[in-house]
Amino acid sequence: MTTGSGTPAVGEGASTAGLAITPKSEAVDPRVWKAAKDFEAMAIGQMLEPMFSTVDTTQGEFGGGVGEQNFKPMLVTEMAKAVEQRGGLGLAAPVYAQMLKMQEKKS
């Protein structure tokens, strides 16, 4: 199933694996799509955080310190957003589809 623009639509019984869904598509609710993408970025951030927390930065160029400790969570968040913007892990499409199904059940 495709929308008028040729972009695959996510609906009942549609497989979401590998779909290129964009907010520009008429079939996509931009608010729900943004929430799904934000969820994926948050999940990626949760996976990246342990990687950064185990690195000993005291021997690096900047020597660690309070400033680095305070900015590290922001770095992880921004890196997660960047990964998501470049395709992420493919979580946004299935999360989007599930969110739509949950909305339909409430209606």
pLDDT tens-digit readout, 1-17: 444 433 334 443 334 44
**Residue 16 domain flag:** no
Mean pLDDT on 45-58: 86
What are the pLDDT digits (tens) for 59-71?
777 777 788 888 8
> Cβ atoms within 10 A of the Cβ of 97, count?
20
Predicted TM-score of the model (pTM): 0.68
Nearest to 11 by CA among 42, 34, 24, 25: 25
- Given phi > 0 = left and psi -120 to 50 = alpha, else beta, which region is 104? alpha
Please check whether residue 2 lies inside any domain of the structure. Answer: no
Tokens at residue 54, please? 């185990």
**Residue 49 within a domain:** yes
Residue owning tokens 């931009």: 30
- Which residues 6+ apart lie within 8 Å of 98 measured at CB? none
Q: Which range marks the domain in which residue 102 is found? A: 30-106
Please, which pLDDT band fits residue 18 given cuts at 50, 70 and 90?
A: very low
What the block records as the tokens of 53 is 């927390």
How many structural domains comprise the chain?
1
